[in-house]
Structure formats: C-alpha cells, structure tokens
Amino acid sequence: MEQKEIELLKLLEKNGRMDNDTISKMLDVAPVEVEEMIKKLEKEHAILGYSTLVDWSTVYEYEGVAALIDVKVTPVRGVGFDKIASRIYRFPEVKAVYLMSGSYDLSVSVEGKTMMEVSRFVSDKLSTLDTVLSTTTHFILKKYKHDGIIFDEGDDDDKRIMVTP
Amino acid sequence: MSKSYLANHVKELQPSGIRKFFDLASQMENVISLGVGEPDFVTPWNVIEASYHSLEQGYTAYTANAGLFELREEISKYLQDTFSISYNPEDQLLVTVGASQAIDLALRAIVDAGDEVIVVEPCFVSYSPAISLAGGVPVSVSATADNEFKVTPEQIEAAITPRTKAIVLCSPNNPTGAVLSKQELYGIAQVVRKHDLIVLSDEIYAELAYDEAATSIASVDGMKERTILISGFSKSFAMTGWRLGYAAGPVAIMQAMTKIHQYTMMCAPTMAQHGALEALRHGNESVREMKTSYRQRRNFVVKALNEMGLSCHLPGGAFYVFPSIKETGYTSEEFAQKLLEEERVAVVPGHVFGESGEGYIRCSYATSIKQLDEAMKRMDRFIKQNSKM
C-alpha cells in the first residue's frame, strides 16, 4: 500500500469526519484523488465503516451495561475456531469477538440494557453452544479510555501560553 | 529613590516585541493562537514516567556539572548516529538548562568586549540580546524571501570585519522554517574557515526536517573544531517546560562553558536529565509520529495561505511558516494587530525577528488541525475584508 494511503487511513481512523479538502491539503494531493483513494480503500475493505465514539455515561436517559467474556471452546477439525466464532459474532448483542492467545480462546464483548439481559445471553445463548466448554463473564464498571481516546479529557486542553518566541 | 540602580547595558536592551502580542492576546476570549513557539504535544508518557521513577528512586541531588555521564553518552551516540560526528562525552559535551542557556554560555565563553558576532535575521529573538549581554556587538545579515530565507556565503563575507569572532546559524530556522542544505552549508563553511570564525549552530529543530534530513555544519570537513553545536529536547521530544538542552564542541570551548555553568548554574535539573535519557533511548517512535503530523499540518497551512493570497513558500523544517503580507498594504504589526482584533487569530509580526522580517508574519502550525482549519477560515475572511489587492 502506498505511504499516502496509510497516512489517509491513520487520519480517518482518528477522525472519520475530517473533510476531503483538509485531507487533500495535508497529504498534498488533489481533492478528487482523496475521494478516489477513499473509494478504493472502501472497496478493498481496508475501510469498513465510520463510527462515532460516544461516552454513554454522559447520557442520563441511557441505560446499558457491557461485559467482556472469556470463552473456552473446542476447535473443530477443518474449520478451527472460525465456525464457532461466527456462531457467536452473529448475535446482535455481541459487539466484538477476538481469537486470543493464552488461557482461553475467544474474547467476546457484549452489550445489553441490564445485567440480567447480559447474564441471560451468556447462560441461554453462549454457554449452550455445542463447542463452548466454559465462559467467564467480566462486567465493565467504568470506561477510562477507548480506541485511543481518554474519556474525561477534552481535546482543547492547551496548557501552553498564548504567544512564545 | 531617584537613582536608577540598573546597569546601563541592561537598560539599553529592548524588551522583546513578542511580549506585546502576548499581553494583547491573553486579554481576549476565543483566540486561536498561531503564535506559540512550542509543540502542541504533551511529552511522551514514557519520558514522564521515567522522570517520575527517578524521583521515586530518590535521584533528587545535583548531577555532575556537565550533566549525567550516561546522558552525555547517549547524546554522543545520538550525534554520531544522526550526523556522523563524534564527541567525547568526557569533555566535549555539556548538558544545559535548555538550548537557551547553551547559547548564553557559548557567547560568554568566546566573546570579548567589542567582538562582533554575526546573526542571520530573521531569527530567534534571543541571539542579539545574548550577544550584547556577553559584551559583544551583534551584526545583522538579512536572509531574504527571494532566496527562501537562506543566507548566502557572500552576504556573510560582506559583514565580516577584523573584529568578527563568530556567526550564529539556526537551521531548521525559527521563524522562517528554512533548512540549509549540505551544499549551502559547504559554502558558508568556506567563508567561516577563510576568516577563522567560530559557528554557533543552533540545531534545536534538527529532528523536524520534513523533506530532507537536516545536516549539521559540524559535519562539514574542518568545521567540527570551529563549531559549537547547540541542541536540546524541547522541540523534538515536546519537552519545552523541562528546560533541557546541550552543547557539543571543541574541548577548550566546552571546558570554558562548563566553567561558567559550574559557577552560575551548577547543573541542569536532575529529574529532567533522567527524562531525557529515556527520550533518547526509547523516544524514536514518538518523534516519528509527531513529525508526520507536523508535516501534514505544514502542507495544509501552506496550501491554505497561498489559496487566500498570502504568498508562502514551503519551508523544509521546524513548525513555522512565514508568509508575506505585503500585498495587504499593512505593516506586519498592523496586520497582526488587526487580525487579532477582528478575527481573534494570534500570529507574530515578522519584524520582531529582525528588520528583514518586516512584511511577513510567523504562523506556528503546532496546533490541532481542527484549530488550524478554523484559523485559516478566519484569516481568509480577514483577507477578503481587508483586501487592497
């Protein structure tokens, strides 16, 4: 991949809403080229989507809990972990699934409205899957930092004095 | 109390023109400042953590006058790896309180009363006052826009008199961002050798060169023995508040500088030296990331300024651009003041960096792209409303 494409991906990864004109100036390419690069990267599935990082704890009306679940499974000959992973990641309440090194196999991130809802998902849906041997559920108590962004910190916190030599 | 106790040479010293803009800008709300001469990044966490750790371990006493030996070794290694110049950490390196102190020490070590020191303007505001305070006479040479603010050997030669002792160079440059190429440094070196001068080479922005790596004049043949290389951690590692710099040069000069340092400062802050050690050992990745971000923002600002009609060349380094505002019909000062009052954008008028800076403004792009974007919009509106073009 070209160096400029990598720079473009890094810029968009940090700020998916950065406009093409700004990007074109920063990367020293024409605006139409930026558009083409983005289209190409979308087509190649290097860019999969654009999302917004929300700190839901600031939204009073919002109720929700999140949990990380360590899952041990029996891999199946021929398909390894992929098949069971796909059984798990298709549930809409599952936000992320990773194959892990170490003492368990899959790390599953789940979100629900209440602890009861998440618990029910684990006991009814997840643990009952054929190849799942065990699950350990960790409820998330507080999010400090997510995807490189610290939650309690504004981005305009400039501690420098106004004008310096 | 009618008697003034102030020394005459201090009374004669003019306060920096930057101060005025600081005072003006700090009284206003909603100002976007492009007037800041320091990185917008916070020091990399591993550096901060290493400094914490040194304090926890009880490293709170003085270090050797010349600085922690380990740190001098790392600096020596860095200079070897980066510029292929070898300095003995035993007697050719001195850790100072910022590069500013290194400049002061260097001048005090070499300048006799009445000695002339050439400064290439536009330049950092401290050189001439530091020369005067050391008893010397600053002699300005003007680098001009038609040569992308790069001084020529001929210009330097024309300023040399029998009293000339040294020349101060700064590349990559504050405020213009100009970077002298190897070839250009060769030309300057020839004049310096011919007239038996010393170079004070301020290389604080050396890591921040975006198109070609910066060259140190000390690496030019026959120049190591007549160059005092001055650098530090402020700009490359985003460590301005730590106040840590260094000087490298010929043994006799470094011993003289260390002697002054020993009597006036003792040593640079110990916890900062421990942080710097970590910066040199494990800071490369952070520098690379910051550099990429500066380069992108440089490109952005240069394009935006040219689009709005302020002609601006693409500077090779540092984090400043130095566009011309001549076509607006305003002086640098008028432009900067009106821009601040009407659009709440702070820039530094070019004349504070020397006469040849008149007609230009310094904009620092060490500010978030979001802020830069907004600043460029405001400036564009300002130009449209004040256009005499």
pLDDT digits (tens, 9 = 90+) for B277-286: 999 999 999 9
pLDDT band at A155 (very low <50, low <70, confident <90, very high): low
Does residue B369 register a pLDDT over 70? Answer: yes
When pLDDT is averaged across residues A69-96 and rounded to a whole number, the result is 94
Lowest mean pLDDT among A54-63, B68-77, B186-195, B337-346: A54-63
B31 part of contact set with chain A, CB < 8 Å? yes
Q: Look up the CATH superfamily of B8-43+285-383.
A: Aspartate Aminotransferase, domain 1 (3.90.1150.10)
**Per-residue model confidence (pLDDT) at position A76:** 87
Sheet containing B361-364: order of strands = B320-321, B361-364, B348-349
CB-closest option in B26, B37, B303 to A165: B37
Q: A1: buried, middle or exposed (CB in 10 Å: 19+, 13-18, 0-12)?
A: exposed
pLDDT digits (tens, 9 = 90+) for B280-312: 999 999 999 999 999 999 999 999 999 999 999
CB-closest option in B25, B40, B126 to A158: B40
pLDDT band at B388 (very low <50, low <70, confident <90, very high): low
Torsion A98-B45-B34-B345 (CA) sign: positive
> What fold characterizes domain B60-282?
Aspartate Aminotransferase; domain 2 (3.40.640)
**Per-residue model confidence (pLDDT) at position B18:** 86
Query: CB neighbours of B266 closer than 8 A, spacing ≥ 6?
Result: B62, B65
Work out the percent of chain B whose per-residue pLDDT is above 70.
99
Work out the percent of chain A whose per-residue pLDDT is above 90.
79
- Note the Cα B322 to chain centre separation in Å: 14
Q: Which residue has the tokens 């007697």?
A: B91
Nearest partner of B237 among B28, B94, B39, judged by Cα: B39
pLDDT digits (tens, 9 = 90+) for A47-81: 999 999 999 989 988 889 999 999 999 988 888 99
Beta bridge partners of A94: A110
pLDDT band at A91 (very low <50, low <70, confident <90, very high): very high
**Per-residue model confidence (pLDDT) at position B162:** 98
Measured between alpha carbons, how far is A46 from B350 in angstroms, rounded to an integer? 45
Beta bridge partners of A107: A70, A98
Residue B348 CA neighbour count, 13 Å, CB half: 33
Q: Which of residues 47-76 of A touch B (CB under 8 A)?
A: none
Please give the helix or strand (H or E) that residue B8 lies within, else none: helix B8-11
When pLDDT is averaged across residues B112-125 and rounded to a whole number, the result is 97
Residue count of chain A:
165
CB-closest option in B26, B124, B368 to A162: B26
Nearest partner of B41 among B302, B278, B372, B293, judged by Cα: B293
Average pLDDT, chain B: 96
Does residue B1 register a pLDDT over 70? Answer: no
Contact A137, A119 (CB under 8 A): yes
**Per-residue model confidence (pLDDT) at position A156:** 67
**Per-residue model confidence (pLDDT) at position B307:** 96
A-to-B residue pairs, Cβ atoms closer than 8 angstroms = 62
**Per-residue model confidence (pLDDT) at position B223:** 98
Range A34-43 contact pairs with CB under 8 angstroms and sequence separation of 24 or more:
A34/A8, A37/A4, A37/A5, A37/A8, A38/A8, A38/A12, A40/A5, A41/A5, A41/A8, A41/A9
Q: Which of residues 278-307 of B touch A (CB under 8 A)?
A: 292, 296-297, 299-300, 303-304
Q: Do B22 and A155 touch (CB under 8 A)?
A: no
When pLDDT is averaged across residues B142-168 and rounded to a whole number, the result is 97
Q: Which residue has the tokens 């900067």?
A: B336
Domains of chain A: 3-43 (1.10.10), 56-142 (3.30.70.920)
For chain B, what are the domain ranges? 8-43+285-383, 60-282
The ipTM of this complex is 0.85
pLDDT band at B85 (very low <50, low <70, confident <90, very high): very high
Q: Do B299 and A162 touch (CB under 8 A)?
A: no
Residue by residue, DSSP assigns B84-112 as -----TTTSEEEESHHHHHHHHHHHHHPP
pLDDT band at B24 (very low <50, low <70, confident <90, very high): confident
Residue by residue, DSSP assigns B233-249 as STTTTT-GGG--EEEE-
Torsion (CA) B194, B198, B203, B204 in degrees, nearest 10: -160
**Per-residue model confidence (pLDDT) at position A79:** 87
**Residue B228 token pair:** 């005092």
Which residues from chain B sit within 8 angstroms of residue A160, using beta carbons?
36, 38, 40
**Per-residue model confidence (pLDDT) at position B355:** 93
Residue by residue, DSSP assigns B257-286 as HHHHHHHHTSSS-HHHHHHHHHHHHH-HHH
Average pLDDT, chain A: 93
Measured between alpha carbons, how far is B50 from B185 in angstroms, rounded to an integer? 37
Test mutation, B22, B302, B307, B369, chain A, max A CBs within 10 A? B369
Measured between alpha carbons, how far is B351 from B296 in angstroms, rounded to an integer? 27
pLDDT band at A153 (very low <50, low <70, confident <90, very high): confident
Query: CB neighbours of A121 closer than 8 A, spacing ≥ 6?
Result: A91, A93, A110, A112
When pLDDT is averaged across residues B183-187 and rounded to a whole number, the result is 98
CA distance B112 to chain A (A): 27
**Per-residue model confidence (pLDDT) at position B16:** 85
Lowest mean pLDDT among A95-109, A123-137, B6-20: B6-20
**Per-residue model confidence (pLDDT) at position A8:** 97
**Per-residue model confidence (pLDDT) at position A60:** 86
Q: Are strands A145-146 and A149-150 parallel, antiparallel or unpaired?
A: antiparallel
